[in-house]
Structure 1
Amino acid sequence: MNAQRILSQLMRQAGDGRRGGLDVQGLLGGLTSGAGGKAGGQGGGRLGSALGGGALGVLLGSKRGRKLGGKALKYGAIAGVGALAWRAWQNARASSGGEAHEGTPLDDLQGEPLERRSLVLLQAMIMAARADGHVDERERALLTEQIDAIGADDELHAWVERQLSAPLDALALARQADSSQAAREIYLASVAVIDDDNPMERAWLDQLASGLSLDEDMKRSLEREALAAGEGSDHEEQW
């Protein structure tokens, strides 16, 4: 599979959006303006110019009438998920000395370890998008189409299809974390997609945090990083 390529495209588009290079609200509007699930429809022009953003748009919530603000605010965290997760650990554990084996940030991985981490982060984002139970058939088709458009091979295409139909299991997802750093990245990628005001999505995050063995301090630190990344702040605000 080529999960690393797909994740890097999504991260690049998220970074462009955080810097103002991608019209997030306009893109999401295009997804709901009558595209009919086809990239060549009314919304297809916008998607064609920002394919990674199109996939992110579906993950953030493309159904007409759904609340998009909270998700759109935080999705910039996807752009720097490895570094932000590491900084969250530093902020939360500075006084305690941290754990013995923290693991390697996404940005420092290569080869097969990078491919495995990329795949689990993609899975985390897809599962988070499904957590409220409202990803319909049109959105599933559009997400698959957009991931294909940014370079998914046949194996990854089939994998995405399975993820869109598989039972939601936060503990099974959590078991794929091979280190504390991976656990933080999985949670942060999920936070970027979740709407905090939706009880079902918040429950998913809580289950995932429990499975990942993240304590309340770490959860808060990661969620602060997600919000600060979305707002483009310097991370110095106090909660």
Structure 2
Amino acid sequence: MNTRSLLDQLLHAGKDLLQNQGGGNAAPPTRSNAGSPLGGLLGSVGGGALGGGAMSLLMGSKKARKVGGKVVVYGGLAALGVVAYKAYSNWQSQTQAAAMPGPPQTVDRVPAAQVEQHSQAILRAVIGAAKADGHIDQRERLLIDGEVERITDDSELKRWFDQELAKPLDPADVARSAATPEIAAEMYLASLVMVDDQNFMERAYLDEFARQLKLDPALKSELETQAANNLG
């Protein structure tokens, strides 16, 4: 399966919509972000609306209309990896017990052979977070399936996506895809992008998901800070 391709297209969903609307709220690169790695990957992110297509369907119409809410990761999977790397590195530098032999192996830094493992875990987290408020009904599932059908011709990936969408939500089951601490960080970060943290059900899901991922509280806090600063 080529999960990365589908995930990148989902994460980019809002960019095309904003461009089709004449630029929308997308912000041009600024002097303050032009020289930074995050600025290069995320410079086009404005405070604007969430994208259409499968991503909007996954997020639900109410959240998709929230102009001031979290935005899609316009830089795609690589940008998500950059933000996870920054959060993980900050946490490591503050916690001697977290020291590892070498820098964090986030999705933007692993060999190509490992990218699929990271991508599939992150997409599972995205689907799980989308189900956290219980809004995906049978009709929406069919619409989402139709969008995925349009985006990819990978029949194995489409079957896998449909099976994940149909599963009852179980944060422990989703968390089992976190084969490394870095993947756990990426999965939580992707979930933060997807949810409305003012919604009680979604906040409760996030907290339980972090517990199942066995995230250190300090790392969880750092991921939330980086998401607020760079993805929302």
TM-score, normalised to structure 2, is 0.75
Aligned partner of 2:92 in structure 1 is 93
The correspondence of residues 33-182 of structure 1 with structure 2, limited to 5 A, is 53-62=52-61, 65=62, 68-69=65-66, 72-76=69-73, 79=76, 80-97=79-96, 98-100=98-100, 103-182=104-183
Q: Secondary structure at the match of 1:108?
A: coil
CA shift for structure 1 position 100: 2.3
Aligned partner of 1:5 in structure 2 is 5
CA shift for structure 1 position 67: 7.5
Contact conserved, 2:105 with 2:182, CA < 8 A, in 1? yes
Q: Secondary structure at the match of 1:225?
A: helix
User: Hey, what's the Cα distance between the residues in 2 that align with 1:228 and 1:72?
Assistant: 13
Contact conserved, 2:189 with 2:223, CA < 8 A, in 1? yes
Q: Secondary structure at the match of 1:147?
A: helix
With a CA cutoff of 8 Å and minimum separation of 6, indicate the structure with the bigger relative contact order. 1
Residues 105-158 of structure 1 show CA distances to partners (whole Å, capped at 9, x for unaligned) of 111234442112111111110111001111112221121111221214111111
Cα distance change, pair 96–82 in 1 and its aligned pair in 2 (3 A): same
Aligned partner of 1:37 in structure 2 is none
User: Hey, what's the Cα distance between the residues in 1 that align with 2:202 and 2:157?
Assistant: 26
Q: Secondary structure at the match of 1:197?
A: coil
**Residues 140-149 or 98-107, more deviating:** 98-107
CA shift for structure 1 position 59: 2.0
Contact conserved, 1:71 with 1:192, CA < 8 A, in 2? no
User: Hey, what's the Cα distance between the residues in 2 that align with 1:77 and 1:110?
Assistant: 22
CA shift for structure 1 position 173: 1.4
TM-score, normalised to structure 1, is 0.73
Unaligned runs of 5+ in 1: 27-51, 232-239
Cα distance change, pair 184–149 in 1 and its aligned pair in 2 (3 A): same
User: Hey, what's the Cα distance between the residues in 2 that align with 1:53 and 1:9?
Assistant: 11
Identity %: 34
CA shift for structure 1 position 17: 6.9
CA shift for structure 1 position 68: 4.6
| Equivalent residues, number | 200
Amino acid at match of 2:9: Q
Contact conserved, 1:128 with 1:201, CA < 8 A, in 2? yes
CA shift for structure 1 position 93: 3.1
Contact conserved, 1:105 with 1:182, CA < 8 A, in 2? yes
Aligned partner of 2:28 in structure 1 is none
